Amino acid sequence: MIDAYALSHFGFNLPVALVGVIDLILILGIIYFHTSIVLYNQKRKIKSISEGFANIFKGEEPVREEK
């Protein structure tokens, strides 16, 4: 696909090694962005879970009025 794009826009075929390097860079970029999104979502999920447990175990007991 990259070679066809270069052929249609520039009028010549790219060397096979260059196409492989471009493919590798694109794949690594996709993996990096996917990993960063997944890690961000996990951190957010862990934070919300820990806040939920903190609220549960906070020890907020209802105030009893003395008679």
Question: What secondary structure, in 3-state letters, does 37-59 show?
Answer: HHHHHHHHHHHHHHHHHHHHCCC
Query: What pLDDT score was predicted for residue 7?
Result: 76
User: How do residues 10-65 score in pLDDT, each as one tens digit?
Assistant: 777 878 888 889 899 999 999 999 999 999 988 888 888 777 777 777 766 555 66
What is the residue type of 12? F
Q: Is 28 or 4 the better-scoring residue by pLDDT?
A: 28
- CB within 8 A of 7, min separation 6: which ones? 13
- Using N-to-C axis directions, what is the helix angle for 2-10 and 16-56, rounded to 10°? 120
The pTM score is 0.60
